[in-house]
Amino acid sequence: MQDADLAVLDASCAEDLSYAHSNGARDTKAQYLEKVRTGYYVYHRIEHPVERVAVLGDTAIVVGRMTADLDVQGVPKTIDNLALAVWTRASGSWQLLGYAPTPLPA
């Protein structure tokens, strides 16, 4: 994401990706990749500390946090959220199927 490497992002994301953002907007894989490609999202720093991973067959649930510094449409933003990611194993490789951030408790 920081390198805006669309080939790696494309391979890392399932075709049915649902990517939610901290403002409540949600993107499909095609929408998200287009926003990264055009510079709508420019990531400067991303950290994903993981608290727990549960693997059930070809599905993994990752519970943790996401902190990042980025520009959204040219406007600098810092985010700090709890995060839930769903990964699926297709053809032997893991791909992101769903991502949902949640604001930190007050």
Report the DSSP pairing between strands 93-103 and 13-20. parallel
pTM of the model: 0.91
Cβ proximity of 71 and 41 under 8 Å? yes
pLDDT of residue 49: 96
Q: Give the integer Cα–Cα distance in Å for 62 and 54.
A: 7
Q: Give the integer Cα–Cα distance in Å for 68 and 26.
A: 18
Band (pLDDT 50/70/90 cuts) for residue 37 is very high
Band (pLDDT 50/70/90 cuts) for residue 106 is confident
| DSSP letter for each residue of 26-65 | EEEHHHHHHHHHTTSEEEEEEE--EEEEEEETTEEEEEEE
The predicted-structure confidence for 76-94, as pLDDT tens digits, reads as follows 999 999 999 999 998 789 9
Q: How many residues in the chain?
A: 106
